[in-house]
A and B are shown apart, each in its own frame.
Chain A
């Protein structure tokens, strides 16, 4: 089974702070995704990538940057965090588009 890990698992920052969320997958998947999960909205796609150096914009990209440094590693960057970005963030990976997505355990972010 695909292994997707995320760090940190919990993060607290202040408004205007700089946050980096990390994701690593060890099954050589091509696609990686960042989602946020909020009550009443389900999961919403922030950014995704189909390979190292590639970045695609998702449905809710405002306020977020992302970078895929290697096939294994995908980072989500919040350069000026705002309270509206308080959420549960999930990373996922899949071998090909529309293949089964494998999710990490999530990172809970609180922006004060």
Chain B
């Protein structure tokens, strides 16, 4: 079974702190994603990565950065946390099939980190 783990289930930080959210997958997937989930808004893509050291902005990248130094690990960084970044953060990974990104390119999700910024 694919396993995606996130470093913390719950996290409480103060405004202005630098926050690291870690995600690790054990299935040698190329793609990794960070989403935030807010009530009434569903999941919104923050950043994604399709290879080591490669990243692409999602729909709401402002206030966030990411790091992918190793294939299995994808970190989300809040350089200076603000209260409006209080949210649930979900990491996901997926495998690119050899030639075409077909429907077998399923995203597997971690359990989420609920971040509260005070």
Same complex for A and B? Answer no
Which residues of A are in contact with B by a Cβ distance under 8 Å? none
List residues of chain B with CB under 8 Å of any chain A CB.
none
